[in-house]
Structures are given as structure tokens and as C-alpha cells.
Amino acid sequence: MVANVSTSAEIERAPDSPPPPPAPQPRYRIAVLASGRGSNLQALLDAVADGSLSADIVGVFSDKPKAHALQRARDAGVAAIALAPKSFATRDGFDAAFFAEVDAVRPDLIVCAGYMRLIGAKAVDARRGRVINIHPSLLPDFKGLHTHQQALAAGATEHGASVHFVTADLDGGPVIAQARVPVLAGDDEHSLAERVLAREHPLLLASLRLFADRDVMLREDSVHIRGERAAPLQLSSNNAFA
Ligand code: GRF
């Protein structure tokens, strides 16, 4: 007999009762890629631990087996994996093996936080809209390395950091959010880097809260926040977006 079979939910619900509330969203899963110190990673681990970021760091991945970031992950009980590029003949070969490890933890988002290796176009394109990076400049200014030195050499009066979607265009993907700092008289590379880094951590956290709330998307070539095309968000001094 298959005709007129009702599910138990249908039987229990009166015809005019409101629909049941939607099932809660599963916890957001973040994979972090890092090559060195890992202070941005630590800010994320701390925020997950204290409940101020509703997401899980589901794996930390590095191209540098000795990266301190790996130890920070292990100390927090997070899986930490490193693959050495020199074991692979080509960039695509390395990327394929590396991202197979990343994909295995089923991340909703892949966050490059001080990941210093160029990711090949093939690996990036396959994960479009799911890879972001934090870069220590106000993009599109000062792409590449030594950004603080570049800012000082250019006589910039303002500097900062940007969180952007990763595309095959190095440091050129759509910018999601920025934090600004002044360049002060007497600054050197070190003092400026320190001032920027202090804003990177809250910038990355505020950005990831938006992702964890499923509020950010890359559509075509632009950032959309809650369905609307958006200019880069600006981090205020209270660590919220203006
Ligand atoms: C940060 O300045 C980040 O913007 C850049 O590399 C640095 C990484 O620092 N991409 P840490 O490893 O997170 O301390």
C-alpha cells in the first residue's frame, strides 16, 4: 500500500499551525593556510576558544614544515599539516597534493593568513569565492612583498591591511574589508608593520564573523554583502565595520 501515506510530521501538525523553525546552520568550517609566525591564526584560535567567533578552525596547512603556526594549531588541538614544495616537480603538482589535504577537512572557507606561497591559477579557480587572504596594505596599493617599505618609500600618509578574495591575479582579487592606520613621522618598517599587524587581527576576525553568518559572497567579480554589491568595508576603532 503506497497511496495516502502521511508522514508523522504531517499527522502531528495542525493544518493552520506555523511551519517549524528552520534547522540551525551547521557550524562554519575554516581552514587556515600559514607559512610562518601565525599571529593572525592565533587571533582566530583565541576567538573560537572564547566564543567570539562562531566557527571552527578545522585544519592548519603550511608549505613550511617548521612554521610556528603549525605548533600554535597543535597547541589548540587543531590538525596541522605541512607539505614541502621541494618534494614536487611542479607548482600544480604541489597545489594538487596540498589542496587535497585542505579539501579533506571540508572547509567552507580557506583563509590565507601569512601563506607566502603563490597559489596556481588552477587551484584558485577551482575554489573561486572560497579562498580569502589578508594582505598588509590598502589594496590596490602596494601589492606583493615588503609592503611597509613600499608605503614608506612612496611617502604614504595612511597605510593598513586588506582582506580580499583570492583570484589568479596576485593580491588583485576583490577587496572585502580594510583597516587603516596613520603613517607617523619617524616610522620605520618595523614600527609601521607593528601598527598594521595590531589592526590585522581584529580586521580578519570581523571579516570572518561575516563569513560565518553567511553574509559575504563573491558574485561575478564583486563582493556582495547580504545580497548587495559592496565597496570595501572599513574597520572602525571599536573593531566593528563602519
Ligand atoms: C601578516 O602581515 C599578513 O598580512 C601577511 O603576512 C603576515 C603574517 O603574519 N600576509 P602572521 O604569520 O599572521 O603573524
- pLDDT tops 90 at residue 19: no
What pLDDT score does 4 carry?
45
- pLDDT tops 50 at residue 6: no
Residue with CA nearest ligand 1 atom 9: 114
Kindly give the distance from the C-alpha atom of residue 81 to the centroid of ligand 1, in angstroms, as a whole number. 19
CB of 201 closer than 6 angstroms to any ligand 1 atom: no
CB of 162 closer than 6 angstroms to any ligand 1 atom: no
- pLDDT tops 90 at residue 230: yes
Read off the pLDDT of each residue in 201-224 and give the average, rounded to a whole number: 98
Which of ligand 1's atoms lies nearest the C-alpha of 116?
Answer: 10
Residue with CA nearest ligand 1 atom 5: 114
pLDDT band at 11 (very low <50, low <70, confident <90, very high): very low
Read off the pLDDT of each residue in 165-176 and give the average, rounded to a whole number: 97
Read off the pLDDT of each residue in 147-151 and give the average, rounded to a whole number: 98
The larger pLDDT score, comparing residue 93 to residue 3, is at: 93
The larger pLDDT score, comparing residue 49 to residue 19, is at: 49
CB of 44 closer than 6 angstroms to any ligand 1 atom: no
CB of 173 closer than 6 angstroms to any ligand 1 atom: no
What pLDDT score does 5 carry?
43
CA dihedral (134, 138, 140, 145) positive or negative: negative
Read off the pLDDT of each residue in 4-12 and give the average, rounded to a whole number: 46
Ligand 1 pocket mutation, candidates 200, 203, 208, criterion most atoms within 8 A of CB: 200
What pLDDT score does 17 carry?
82
Q: What residues are annotated to the active site?
A: 135
The larger pLDDT score, comparing residue 100 to residue 9, is at: 100
Q: What are phi and psi of 220, to 5 degrees?
A: 50, -115
Comparing CA positions, the residue from 147, 119, 139 lying closest to residue 131 is 119
The larger pLDDT score, comparing residue 9 to residue 162, is at: 162
Kindly give the distance from the C-alpha atom of residue 48 to the centroid of ligand 1, in angstroms, as a whole number. 19
- DSSP annotation of 241 reads B
What pLDDT score does 13 carry?
60
CB of 113 closer than 6 angstroms to any ligand 1 atom: yes
- pLDDT tops 70 at residue 63: yes
Ligand 1 pocket mutation, candidates 134, 137, 170, 176, criterion most atoms within 8 A of CB: 134
What pLDDT score does 16 carry?
78
What pLDDT score does 232 carry?
98
CA dihedral (36, 119, 41, 82) positive or negative: negative
What pLDDT score does 54 carry?
97
The per-residue DSSP string of 85-125 comes to GGGSSSHHHHHHHHHHHHHHT--SEEEESS--SPPPHHHHH
pLDDT band at 25 (very low <50, low <70, confident <90, very high): confident
pLDDT band at 18 (very low <50, low <70, confident <90, very high): confident
Cell of 200: 590585522
pLDDT band at 14 (very low <50, low <70, confident <90, very high): low
- pLDDT tops 90 at residue 106: yes
- pLDDT tops 50 at residue 8: no
CB of 114 closer than 6 angstroms to any ligand 1 atom: yes
CB of 200 closer than 6 angstroms to any ligand 1 atom: yes
Kindly give the distance from the C-alpha atom of residue 101 to the centroid of ligand 1, in angstroms, as a whole number. 22
What pLDDT score does 74 carry?
98
Whether the pTM exceeds 0.85: the reply is: yes
